[in-house]
Amino acid sequence: MRRSLLLAMVLSAALALGSAGMAFAAEKPAKNQTLTFNLSVEPQTIDPNKSTGVPEAIVELNIFDGLTRLDKTDRPVPAIARSWKISKDGKEYTFHLRDAKWSNGDPVTAYDFEYSWKRALNPATAAEYAYYLYYLKNGEEYNTGKIKDANEVGVKAIDAKTLKVTLTAPTAYFLSLTAFPTYMPLNKKAVEAGGDTWYTKMDTLVTNGPFKIVRWSHQDKLEMVKNPNYWDARKVKLDKLVYTMVEAESTELTMFETGQIDLGHFPPRPELPRLREQKIVKFTPYLGTYFYEFNTSKAPFDNPKVRKAFAMAINRRQIVEKVTKAGEVPAMAWVPYGMPDAKAGTDFRKSGGEFFKDNDVATAKKLLAEAGYPDGKGLPPIEILYNTLEMHKAIAEAIQEMWKKNLGANVTITNQEWKVYLQNRTDGNFQVARAGWIGDYVHPMTFIDMMISNGGNNRSRWADKKYDDLVEVAKTTTNAAKQYKAMHDAEKILMDAMPILPIYFYTQPVLQKSYVKDVAISMLGFFDFSSAWIAQH
């Protein structure tokens, strides 16, 4: 704290000298280092083994520290692991741990990781994200009860400072996974003392991250302070971090504008143009694709030509500029921007390019005629299914209009409550359904492997053996060039068959006061406050 203060003072002095008379000077940290962020919902849990959602992760990533941590650009960097060695076949990782302490003073050891990972996989724990650990050898077998002995799972503490991990296949993004909540260490003593609700009691909530929770007022707010026992505590500048749980978007905005919160991430959409003009909102990249999904088992969408015709008859630019208005990017491909390619520093999307032209009505009409529906004659009525939300409705109405005008299709739109809509999609009771997919880790595979034949999340019922084979190659090879080529090829097959119709790549709108500095906002939707600070204002 003192060092950074001194540095900031020297810097600001230098700048003031150099830019005398100019409107700005380097900002000094404020006296009161308290940041209030609207998390917007009550976390369902903060047991890292059991959590699944982004809000929960935004809590856990700031109170726990895993083997790795994602930096500002979402690359994994050493955290509790000081260094690691990966075997030639890419299946064995040996992590060397640094000296770190839990908030209660216990040392953080390799045993804490082994305990936590096995706990997440234990069928009795019934963790939803247990399958995040299926990368470990025998992880799936243990979780599904095929083997009973937890010691056969591919994670072992050799000693207090060495963790050996064995995977079923080389996994290029494994070091990103180890930064994820499910992979956080747990203090066995505390967890066992507290039972199922260890994390709700302040005396058994033992953590090892930049902050520690001091008060959790349910559905109201969560108060954290800097954790003096954190191994990198010198880096942490905030003294206090408060998360509020205000769900109503317009209330969040009013609280932001009246100074009750400093940072929020759900501005009401109708207000976006104004907020943008006033430079109150900014849009950060978000690893997600908004798309429509065809039911490929029912006519007319069992015909790839019809699917492509419908995909090309949409004006995406108009949708992002006139309807959604949050700086989204029209998607003429499946995998969003922001993910690495084989060569360091390149972007998978940029090198993969776009697969078709936006708003290509001529080609769309031609394809539809080839499929036997010239000018839409003979097309059955089409129904778009979406979950009840104003924005989805607005998009569906725009698309309804475009399909009517461009293809002569008779389109209706239907909304359903969230869980009813999910159930109907899973059961195949739809023709075209609105959908979204948010990446779990920063690697194209998080999008590519969703569409494998019979994949649980592939509700389009599309299946292609060649696609599956390419995914398998990408998942098992240790050769990066080969791996990325396989994923590019797979995406080409997917866009050729068009079981899903990409519309746009998401962005994350953020309400941030100008004095809030260095919050790391991940493309995965996480907010990391370990380097954040408040400037004088």
* DSSP letter, residue 288: E
The total number of residues shown for the chain amounts to: 537
Single out the residue of 143, 296, 400, 507 in contact with other proteins (rule: CB under 8 A).
143
Shortest spacing between CB 350 and other proteins, in angstroms: 27
Query: Taking CB under 8 A as the rule, does residue 45 contact other proteins?
Result: yes
By CB under 8 A, the residues from 71 to 130 that bind other proteins are 123-128, 130
> In 3-state terms, what secondary structure has residue 460?
coil
Question: Would you say 17 or 258 has its CB closer to other proteins?
Answer: 258
Q: Measured from the CB atom, is 256 or 504 closer to other proteins?
A: 256
CB of 49 to other proteins, least distance (A): 10
Residue 260 as a binder of other proteins (CB under 8 A): the answer is yes
Q: How far is CA 99 from CA 48, 86, 230, 358, 531, in A?
A: 22, 21, 10, 54, 20
* CB 483 to other proteins: min, Å: 23
Q: What tokens were used for 126? A: 């019934």
Beta bridge pairs of residue 107: 101
Beta-bridged to residue 95, according to DSSP, are: 84, 163
407 membership: H or E segment, kind and range: helix 390-407
Rounded to the nearest whole angstrom, what is the least distance from the CB of residue 80 to other proteins in the complex?
24
Closest contact distance (angstroms) between CB of 364 and other proteins is 29
Sequence-separated (6 or more) residues with CB below 8 Å from residue 405: none
* Closer CB to other proteins, 33 or 52, in the complex: 52
Cis-peptide, bond into residue 499, ω within 30° of zero = no
Q: What's the min distance (Å) between Cβ of 240 and other proteins?
A: 17
Asked if 464 interacts with other proteins (CB under 8 A), we say no
Max CA pair span of the chain: 76
Please give the Cα distance from 507 to 243 (Å, whole number).
Answer: 22
For the CB of residue 456, give the shortest distance to other proteins in the complex, in Å: 3
Residue 191 CB, shortest distance to other proteins, in Å, is 12
Comparing CB distances to other proteins, the nearer of 1 and 147 is: 147
Q: Which is nearer to other proteins, 484 or 526 (CB)?
A: 526
- The per-residue b/e assignment along 513-535, b for 16 or more CB within 10 angstroms, e otherwise, is beebbebbbbbbbbbbbbbbbbb
Q: Which of 37, 135, 199, 441 binds other proteins (CB under 8 A)?
A: 199
Q: Between residues 120 and 163, which has the closer beta carbon with respect to other proteins?
A: 120
Of the candidate spans 101-109, 142-150, 279-287, 488-496, the one that interacts with other proteins by CB under 8 A turns out to be 142-150
User: Which of these ranges, 7-15, 45-53, 59-67, 366-374, lies near other proteins under the rule CB under 8 A?
Assistant: 45-53
Give CA angle at 404 (400, 407), nearest 5°: 120
Residues 433-452 that bind other proteins (CB under 8 A): 436
* DSSP structure class, residue 235: G
Pick between residue 155 and residue 246 the one whose CB is nearest to other proteins: 246
Interaction of residue 214 with other proteins, rule CB under 8 A: no
d(CA 106, CA 207): 10
Residue whose structure tokens are 């003096």: 228
Is position 187 an interface residue for other proteins (rule: CB under 8 A)? no
Would you say 26 and 11 are in contact if contact means Cβ atoms under 8 Å apart? yes
Among 4, 19, 32, 44, contact with other proteins (rule: CB under 8 A): 44
Residues 206 and 104 sit within 8 Å (Cβ to Cβ): yes
Q: Interaction with other proteins in 221-240: which residues (CB under 8 A)?
A: 221
- Return the closest-CA partner of residue 176 out of 501, 464, 453, 444: 444
Cα gap 360→340, rounded to integer Å: 29
DSSP notation for 279-341 = T-EEEEEEEEEEEEEE-TTSTTTTSHHHHHHHHHT--HHHIIIIII-S--EE-SSSSPTT-B-
Say whether residue 454 binds other proteins (CB under 8 A). no
Name which position in 27, 47, 341, 449 contacts other proteins (CB under 8 A). Answer: 47
**# chain residues binding other proteins, by CB under 8 A:** 51
Query: Which residues share a beta bridge with 35?
Result: 241
Binders of other proteins among 398-417, rule CB under 8 A? 417
Which range in 20-28, 39-47, 160-168, 501-509 contacts other proteins by CB under 8 A? 39-47
Q: How far is the CB of 475 from other proteins (least distance, A)?
A: 17
Q: Which of 16, 25, 420, 535: binder of other proteins (CB under 8 A)?
A: 420
Whether 297 contacts 74, CB under 8 Å: no
Contact 5, 21 (CB under 8 A): no
Angle among Cα 424, 429, 431 to the nearest 5 degrees reads 120
Q: Nearest distance from residue 2's CB to other proteins, in Å?
A: 34
CB of 473 to other proteins, least distance (A): 23
Q: In 3D, which of 292, 266, 265 has the Cα closest to residue 432? A: 292
Minimum CB–partner distance for residue 512 and other proteins (Å): 18
The rounded distance, in Å, linking the Cα atoms of 517 and 24 is 16
Task: Give Cα 347 distance to the centre of its chain.
Answer: 17
Assess 250 for contact with other proteins (CB under 8 A): yes
For the bound state, the minimum distance from the C-beta of residue 138 to other proteins, rounded and expressed in Å, comes to 14
Rank residues 15 and 54 by Cβ distance to other proteins and give the closer one: 54
Which residue ranges make up the site for other proteins (CB under 8 A)?
A: 42, 44-45, 47, 50-52, 123-128, 130-131, 140, 143-145, 196-197, 199-200, 217-221, 244-248, 250-251, 254-255, 257-258, 260, 417-420, 422-424, 426, 436, 456-457
